[in-house]
């Protein structure tokens, strides 16, 4: 595979995922299917398969589970030199896969995982970021405790020092912390961000950006609240998806972007069936980042590619997308868009 020169770095937790087979529930399960994944790690794996150099910063236990998590990343050509070892627990989560009218459920077991013991001095920030082009962070990582947040902000400072573009995915998880607990740390991240993955409610409820209650048109609402946020920050693009759930295994999805000058761009919804929903937001982020790395000014291609790879990820089991650029662009063409230009 031809590698693209730009290097993408991400910081976060990689976890062991355990899934009861055949759409069964945890209480019914006699065995579990094991996979590895985590928001930022999933983004890097997808980008690696799209031809980018990638490097993951994390901490995993110095045991067989830690070995296997690193081997998972290395098998997808993600550089792991700055994954430090220590403590004894790897974060875990259980997934009950939904079917028909029964939604999927996620149960976390990550409270005392290795990454929560990471030290701010364990990472070689200058070595990692001096040759990087892009850094990706998720709000999930901010929820994992003060030590994780210290490293996250140290990474953001290194991005500022070396002029590395930053993307941030809100990924707010109510099972990990409350909105009131999350607010101050999300607000601290925003000044570093160039590309924000967030929806209207994230911006209003977590960042406390006000909006005009008299506005009825949902597009106008999104544009106006995004313009208010971008006016206060250096954010260039606010990107998101909109999902319509017909059943647990039958959805429609569209994508959109609001630019700094207030332009609203969107991709029409596509209806699809679902095999595994986990990691599809991460696939979307990877697709948008991929498009912007190819041409930072061509956001039309970026959200088109992001939507396509996200929909295709729904057809793959596990947390990660292993799709090539060619496969994603063929999907775009087969869905009626013959003008796949970068």
**Rounded Cα–Cα distance for residues 39 and 47 (Å):** 13
Q: What is the pLDDT of residues 58-112, one digit of tens each?
A: 999 999 999 999 999 999 999 999 999 998 899 999 999 888 888 889 899 888 8
Whether pLDDT at 342 is above 60: no
**Domain 39-56+120-334, CATH homologous superfamily name and number:** Ribokinase (3.40.1190.20)
With both helix axes pointing from N to C terminus, report the angle between 146-162 and 179-189 in degrees, rounded to the nearest 10.
Answer: 20
Residues 225 and 200 sit within 8 Å (Cβ to Cβ): yes
Q: Classify each residue of 134-162 as buried b or exposed e, where b means 16 or more C-beta atoms within 10 Å of its C-beta.
A: bbbbbbbbbbbbebbbebbbbbbebbeeb
Among candidate residues 238, 233, 228, the one with its CA nearest the CA of residue 302: 238
Torsion on CA atoms 111, 142, 40, 247, rounded to nearest 10: 80
Q: How far is CA 331 from the centre of its chain?
A: 21
Whether the per-residue pLDDT at 2 is higher than 70: the answer is: no
The ranges assigned to domains in the chain are 39-56+120-334
Residue 165 CB burial class (10 angstroms; 0-12, 13-18, ≥19): buried
Share of the chain above pLDDT 70, in %: 97
Spatial contact of 292 and 50, defined as CB atoms under 8 Å apart: no
What pLDDT shows up at residue 102?
A: 87
**Can you give the pTM of this predicted structure?**
0.95
The whole-angstrom separation of Cα 327 and Cα 333 is 10
């Amino acid at each position: 595979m031809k590698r693209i020169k730009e290097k993408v770095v991400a910081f976060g937790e990689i976890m062991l995922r355990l899934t009861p087979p055949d759409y069964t529930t945890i209480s019914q399960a006699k065995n579990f299917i094991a996979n590895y994944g985590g928001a930022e790690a999933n983004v890097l794996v997808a980008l690696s398969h799209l031809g980018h150099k990638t490097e993951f910063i994390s901490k995993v236990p110095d045991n067989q589970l830690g070995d296997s998590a690193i081997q998972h990343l290395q098998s997808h050509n993600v550089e792991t030199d700055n994954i430090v070892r220590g403590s004894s627990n790897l974060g875990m989560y259980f997934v009950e896969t939904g079917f028909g009218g029964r939604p999927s459920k996620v149960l976390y077991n990550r409270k005392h995982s290795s990454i929560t013991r990471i030290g701010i001095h364990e990472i070689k920030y200058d070595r990692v970021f001096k040759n990087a082009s892009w850094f990706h962070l998720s709000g999930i990582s901010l929820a994992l405790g003060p030590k994780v947040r210290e490293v996250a902000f140290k990474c953001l400072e290194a991005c500022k020092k070396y002029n590395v573009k930053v993307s941030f995915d809100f990924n707010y998880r109510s099972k990990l912390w409350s909105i009131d607990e999350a607010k101050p740390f999300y607000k601290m991240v925003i000044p570093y961000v160039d590309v924000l993955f967030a929806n209207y409610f994230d911006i209003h409820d977590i960042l406390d950006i006000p909006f005009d209650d008299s506005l009825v048109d949902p597009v106008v609402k999104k544009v106006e609240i995004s313009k208010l946020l971008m006016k206060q920050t250096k954010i260039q693009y606010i990107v998101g998806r909109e999902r319509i759930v017909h059943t647990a295994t039958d959805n429609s999805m569209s994508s959109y972007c609001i630019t700094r000058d207030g332009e609203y761009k969107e991709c029409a919804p596509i209806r699809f069936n679902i095999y595994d929903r986990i990691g599809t937001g991460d696939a979307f982020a990877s697709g948008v980042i991929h498009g912007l790395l190819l041409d930072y000014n061509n956001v039309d291609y970026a959200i088109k590619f992001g939507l396509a790879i996200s929909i295709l990820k729904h057809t793959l089991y596990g947390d990660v997308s292993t799709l090539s650029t060619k496969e994603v662009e063929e999907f775009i063409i087969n869905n009626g868009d013959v003008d796949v230009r970068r």
